[in-house]
A = this chain, B = another copy of it.
Amino acid sequence: MRSRILKDHLKEECGVFGIMSAEARVSTLTYYGLFALQHRGQESAGIAVSDGREIFLHKAMGLVGEVFDDATLKRLGGEIACGHVRYSTSGDSNVINAQPLVFKTRYGTIALCHNGNLANSIFLRNDLKEHGAIFQTTVDTEVIAAMLARGNGEDLVTTIREVSRELKGAYALIIMTSDKLIGIRDPYGIRPLCIGKIGDDFMLSSESCAFETVGGTLIRDVYPGEIVEIDRSGITSHLPYGKREERLCIFEFIYFGRPDSIMKDQSLYMSRKTAGKILFREFPASADFVCSVPDSGTPSAIGFSEASGIPFLEGLVKNRYVGRTFIKPSQNQREIGVSLKLNVLEEVVRGRSIVLVDDSIVRGTTVKRLISRLRVAGAKEIHLRISAPPVVWPCYFGIDTPSREELLGARYSTDEIGKLVDADSIGYLSLEGLVEATGRSGFCTGCLSGEYPVDVDEINGKLALEGRAMR
């Protein structure tokens, strides 16, 4: 069986990018923009382009670098483009679900890129079916498309305002018509979306790192509930809900976002490094060196090292050239699984006491094997420090959380987890510490705290009705 090579992490759902420019080759810039957002989804990639009259589309399964070649990009000529990279849970990993979704409506042809998850999608889908809609895919994006198409607004933006009232959950959308690029963020701002500029031209992106990659700059985040309309006359902001408090998914700060991205005017890298510092304050340790689970644990490990004065060393090295998939080792070759990606540096580790820093634990399988390997290599003590609180609750907004049976944090106390993974000591950053590290407020911390921006009982009730309980 083939298996993706992944750390023990929650999985992001998607990345979106859009640009309008009379001068630039918009498909090329979108290509590089998606390249920078590749960490948000590696299963499919797509770009749609409008030349002012028609919309052209290319999408396929695979990485951005695999899906597109020169000839394809050249065919996608135009002055507006939007693109999408997708992560999908198993079963629906099919090109029919790849995005952008391009469809014809009475508002003309529309391309739709969606990052997020509707909490009420089954309700909406059934309601739409009752009113005669057909669904050819299994993605929420098609639900949004169907709602837009039957909106009553005189123009598309009016319709978007109306439709957004009915969408419960997390969504960051880029909508492209033949002459317009529209960015929309849900009223809680759960999923990120930001506005950038290159020369005089505007861009939209899930993360600011894409702007820098193409040579542009970040202007600001799209506000919660904001509708941003970009056309030849420039950029217009609509705030149908007025100014609202943001509830950005805190996992963007913990892990999802690229460290070089800026959200809430804050560097994700600096926030993660600060988390390491606070982690030391909350759970100090003395050891010969601080070691990270590369690459994502490194910023916090460096912060921990800085705060504690314990030197930072690499005790684990990554295989730099692994592709996306490999043949899963059989049961009696289980050890191979982790060592394909990470190997222990015995010379660094032998006889030493270690602070091992990672950014999260979901199922705990990876960290358990790493600690076992570190011990085999002669590590004296292993003090595990996690730069975020345990994941205890499900996510209703598009993040693929495992069932509670698999969620280590939901079943065991911190001490029990420490014993389970065979650490000499263990410490999880507190939620307060995490928020302090971000230097900001206004997050959805549902999976850590059980406090969601929307009424969970209502959602749970509805989900039960729909026969889809918490996974």
| Residues of chain B contacted by A31 (CB below 8 angstroms) | 327
Contacts of A91-134 to chain B: CB distance below 8 A: 101-106, 125-126, 129-134
Q: Known contacts A2-B70, A130-B106; is A314 also within 8 Å of B298 by CB?
A: yes
A340 at interface, CB cutoff 8 A: yes
A-B contact pairs, 20 of them (CB 8 A): A28-B329, A35-B340, A36-B343, A39-B320, A65-B327, A70-B327, A102-B136, A103-B134, A104-B134, A104-B135, A131-B132, A131-B150, A133-B134, A259-B345, A260-B346, A269-B317, A269-B345, A270-B348, A295-B320, A302-B314
Q: Is there an interface contact between A324 and B106, defined as CB atoms closer than 8 Å?
A: no
Q: Is there an interface contact between A311 and B306, defined as CB atoms closer than 8 Å?
A: yes
Q: Is there an interface contact between A146 and B129, defined as CB atoms closer than 8 Å?
A: no
| Residues of chain B contacted by A36 (CB below 8 angstroms) | 319, 340, 343
Q: Is there an interface contact between A347 and B270, defined as CB atoms closer than 8 Å?
A: yes
The 4 closest A-B pairs by CB, nearest first: A132-B150, A267-B347, A65-B323, A38-B321
| Residues of chain B contacted by A105 (CB below 8 angstroms) | 129, 132-135
Considering only CB atoms, which chain B residue lies closest to A96 in the complex?
Answer: B96
Considering only CB atoms, which chain B residue lies closest to A95 in the complex?
Answer: B95
How many of chain A's residues touch chain B, expressed as a range?
A: 35 or more
Contacts of A15-54 to chain B: CB distance below 8 A: 28, 31-32, 35-36, 38-39, 42
Considering only CB atoms, which chain B residue lies closest to A147 in the complex?
Answer: B132
Contacts of A64-107 to chain B: CB distance below 8 A: 64-66, 68-70, 73, 101-106
| Residues of chain B contacted by A314 (CB below 8 angstroms) | 259, 269, 298-299, 302
Q: Which of A28, A103, A312, A317 counts the most chain B CB atoms within 10 A?
A: A317
Q: Is there an interface contact between B339 and A212, defined as CB atoms closer than 8 Å?
A: yes
Shortest C-beta distance, A295 to chain B (Å), equals: 6
Q: Is there an interface contact between A340 and B213, defined as CB atoms closer than 8 Å?
A: yes
| Residues of chain B contacted by A133 (CB below 8 angstroms) | 105, 132-134, 149-150
A336 to B299, CA, bound (A): 25
A320 to B151, CA, bound (A): 41
A344 to B318, CA, bound (A): 21
Shortest C-beta distance, A297 to chain B (Å), equals: 12
Shortest C-beta distance, A101 to chain B (Å), equals: 7
Contacts of A289-309 to chain B: CB distance below 8 A: 295, 298-299, 302, 305-306
Q: Mark A262-279, 1 if CB is under 8 A from B, else 0.
A: 000001011000000000
Q: Is there an interface contact between B258 and A340, defined as CB atoms closer than 8 Å?
A: no
A347 to B208, CA, bound (A): 14
Shortest C-beta distance, A240 to chain B (Å), equals: 21
| Residues of chain B contacted by A28 (CB below 8 angstroms) | 327, 329-330, 333
Q: Which of B102, B150, B313 contacts A302 (CB 8 A)?
A: B313
A365 at interface, CB cutoff 8 A: no
Shortest C-beta distance, A448 to chain B (Å), equals: 24
A312 to B134, CA, bound (A): 55
Considering only CB atoms, which chain B residue lies closest to A1 in the complex?
Answer: B70
A361 at interface, CB cutoff 8 A: no
Q: Is there an interface contact between B103 and A336, defined as CB atoms closer than 8 Å?
A: no
| Residues of chain B contacted by A237 (CB below 8 angstroms) | none
Q: Is there an interface contact between A136 and B103, defined as CB atoms closer than 8 Å?
A: yes
A215 at interface, CB cutoff 8 A: yes
| Residues of chain B contacted by A339 (CB below 8 angstroms) | 212-213, 215
Q: Is there an interface contact between B66 and A260, defined as CB atoms closer than 8 Å?
A: no
A31 to B322, CA, bound (A): 12
A349 to B1, CA, bound (A): 44
| Residues of chain B contacted by A325 (CB below 8 angstroms) | 65-66
Q: Known contacts A102-B136, A302-B313, A340-B35; is A63 also within 8 Å of B347 by CB?
A: no
A386 at interface, CB cutoff 8 A: no
| Residues of chain B contacted by A63 (CB below 8 angstroms) | 321, 323
A176 at interface, CB cutoff 8 A: no
